[in-house]
Structure 1
Amino acid sequence: MIDGRLQRGERTRKAVLDAAVGLASVEGLEGLSLARLAQTLGVSKSGLFAHWPDKQALQLAIVEHAQQQWIEQIVEPALRAPAGVRRLLALHELRLAFYASGQLPGGCFFRAVDNEFDDRPGPVHDAIATAIDSWMSLLARLVGKAVELGQLRPGTDPHQLAFEIEALGAVVIVHTHLLQHEQSHEYARRAVLDRLRALATDPSILPEA
């Protein structure tokens, strides 16, 4: 019976966090409260307090859940691709596919919240910064591995290329949601593919288009 209650509690917690990440992708974190979530999900506010005692605890849990979604749906599948430039491309393509799926109505949780907290020191700022830095570090490591494998030209700067890939992924949110440019995903995919092919020692291991 106790295990059943724990399982139900965990299912409730996950459902709340799934909804919270989706709402925050549109509204940000500051406007999100236990009352707002309770209303959206049709549950009691008091029930949510059993999981998160205050707003900051909820915000930190949402950031952690959003990062875990990113890992499960983008990073882990990409890491199954062959190491080197194909893994880099897979990472970018899976990111764009996640955006295009509509799972998050605002497109990207981290693009919605980074501007809220970039100049506001504190635990939530640190959690967001750590998540984004972890992503950038992964990109740079994968670029470095591609150089080490001889698939990217010697002298390729991992941090520079990681920055370019990140910028081309992030801009899709603005162009898709604000400007309504339907071709943004394809432009972003093609731009990274062209960049990788230009730096690759053997461009034939990458698709031409």
Structure 2
Amino acid sequence: MSKGEATKQAVLERAAATASRIGLSGLTIGSLAEDTGMSKSGLFAHFRSKELLQAQVLAHARQLFVDQVVRPALAAPRGEARVRALFEHWLATTKDRSSACLFVSASAEYDDQPGPIRDQLVRDHLDFADSVAQMFRTGISEGDFRRDADPEQFAHDVHGVMLAFFHARRLLDDPAAEARTRYAFDKLLAAARA
């Protein structure tokens, strides 16, 4: 990796952390320059505009999420073990307010703002829901889950459990948030088992 690419990666990491705290729409080349101590012109050379900066931060967060959640889950045995691994890795990403939190906050920011950032968020969420449903589907074929279980409904329900967790942990600072989330996830698995 060249020095320029290494610098850009470091800036994207900082920008993703900042965006998860202040929101993706609040992230600008100026605010990032102030946050990183870099010049605006140096950052402009990397990103060219606020919109490209935001799109690249979103792409960076997506790659982090895939690397931290999806790929490790795919390394687990097929079936319930893989679905549980996905949940555990997803829950682990919330400890440092990383990419998962950015997707939650950006979704709230952009849910009724048409444009390329919203379009990418929609694609990312649909792709992830499809991944969860596919992991669940393999659990059906492995005999871990009921044949009549609905993979898309399971993906929807797991996402709902995780959204409740983000709300309880980040906004309400509920000390029982993780325990309640684990309980809700275990109930979903129990209802789906063969």
Q: Under TM normalisation by the shorter chain, which class is it?
A: over 0.9
Q: TM-score, normalised by structure 1?
A: 0.88
Structure 1 residues not aligned, in runs of 5+: 1-5, 202-209
**1:103 offset after TM fit, Å?**
4.7
**What percentage of residue pairs aligned between the two structures are identical?**
34
Aligned with 2:62: secondary structure? helix
Partner Cα distance (2:191, 2:45) in 1: 54
Verify: 1:90 aligned to 2:85, yes or no: yes
2:43 alignment partner AA: L
Which residue of 1 is the match for residue 101 of structure 2?
108
Written as runs of structure 1 = structure 2, the 5 A alignment for 1:114-129 is 114-129=107-122
Which residue of 1 is the match for residue 63 of structure 2?
68
Written as runs of structure 1 = structure 2, the 5 A alignment for 1:136-175 is 136-175=129-168
Of 186, 190, 194, 1:193 maps to 186
Partner Cα distance (1:178, 1:96) in 2: 16
Partner Cα distance (1:73, 1:38) in 2: 27
Q: Deviations over 1:68-119 (max 9, x none)?
A: 010011111111111011110110111111102x253x97001111121111
Which residue of 1 is the match for residue 18 of structure 2?
23
Partner Cα distance (1:26, 1:131) in 2: 20
Kept in 2: contact 1:107–1:173 (CA 8 A): no
Q: TM-score, normalised by structure 2?
A: 0.95
Partner Cα distance (1:73, 1:181) in 2: 24
**Deviation >6 Å, runs of 4+:** none
Kept in 2: contact 1:151–1:200 (CA 8 A): yes
Verify: 1:80 aligned to 2:90, yes or no: no
Which residue of 1 is the match for residue 42 of structure 2?
47
2:93 alignment partner AA: F
Which residue of 1 is the match for residue 94 of structure 2?
99
Partner Cα distance (1:19, 1:56) in 2: 17
Which residue of 1 is the match for residue 174 of structure 2?
181
Kept in 2: contact 1:27–1:112 (CA 8 A): no
Question: Over aligned residues, Cα RMSD in angstroms?
Answer: 1.5
Higher relative contact order (CA 8 A, sep 6+): 1
Partner Cα distance (1:117, 1:103) in 2: 19
Structure 2 residues not aligned, in runs of 5+: none
Aligned with 1:50: secondary structure? helix
**1:189 offset after TM fit, Å?**
1.8
Residue 7 to residue 87, structure 1, CA distance change in 2 (3 Å): same
**1:140 offset after TM fit, Å?**
0.8
